[in-house]
Amino acid sequence: PMGIKFAVSYGEMLTAPQRRAIIQALGCEVFNVYGLEEFGAVGVECEKHEGFHLNSESFILEIVDQQGNPLPPNTQGVVVITSLLNHIMPFIRYESGDRGYILDISCLCGLRTPRFIIQGRYGSFLELRNRKIHHFEIAGLLEKYSESIQHYQVRRKNYSHIKIELVPRHPLGDEMLLIKQDLRQLVGDAVKVDILSVERIQPLPGGKIPAIITESAAV
């Protein structure tokens, strides 16, 4: 044992496989933090690990539809945040770029601050010749391979050709064929699908690894 009491994840979406890998490597509990570069930490997990507790002394978090209308609890929508601390450059109903929903059930930890779930970025689409695929659809497809895949990135070469880079946890073998079959069902037979196993996916300068990269708009 390394003697580490806990680890904090911040800056990227923490997936269930990533959490398990960190726990296994460090031998400690992992707490996730939701934040934005403009605000810092907006919400944190408690020991129950069932969503984020809002730092309500500093922020108001709302879930709205595409027209900005507030949505009720347990309804998915766009996350907008109001900062209560920045008096020089106020952020009022700032659109975060994330999707999520507010939970209406009190947390068993006893903390009574609002609690919310973040599902990920909502503006990332894979545009192909005859359809547009949201990255949530791709993430849902690859979730069943989460024990084998650590990271992935979809690169659109053009409207009828995509390349998927996978960072595997172990040699994939026949799983590569299964993943390709599932992706082909999602994108259609008219789209060429290449899958490549890589050791690492290069993050952007800010440290993010986007799920979808558009390399060309050419047909």
Length of the chain equals 219
For 56-125, give the DSSP string. TTTEEEEEE-TTS-B--TT--EEEEEEESS-SSS---SEEEEEEEEEE-S--TT---S-EEEEEEESS-E
Specify the pLDDT at position 56.
94
Cα–Cα dist 111/41, whole Å: 17
Q: Which amino acid is at 140?
A: G
Weakest mean pLDDT among 130-134, 159-163, 215-219: 215-219
Instruction: Give the pLDDT band of residue 88 (cuts 50, 70, 90).
Output: confident
* 3-state SS assignment for residue 32: strand
- What is the rounded distance in angstroms from the CA atom of residue 193 to the CA atom of residue 191? 6
Average pLDDT over every residue of 127-140: 82
| Verdict on whether the full-model pTM lies above 0.75 | no
End-to-end CA distance of the chain: 54
pLDDT at residue 15 is higher than 90: no
Q: What is the pLDDT of residues 26-53, one digit of tens each?
A: 999 999 999 988 888 999 999 999 999 9
> How far is the C-alpha of 203 from the C-alpha of 6, rounded, in Å?
25
Which has the higher per-residue pLDDT, 144 or 208? Answer: 144
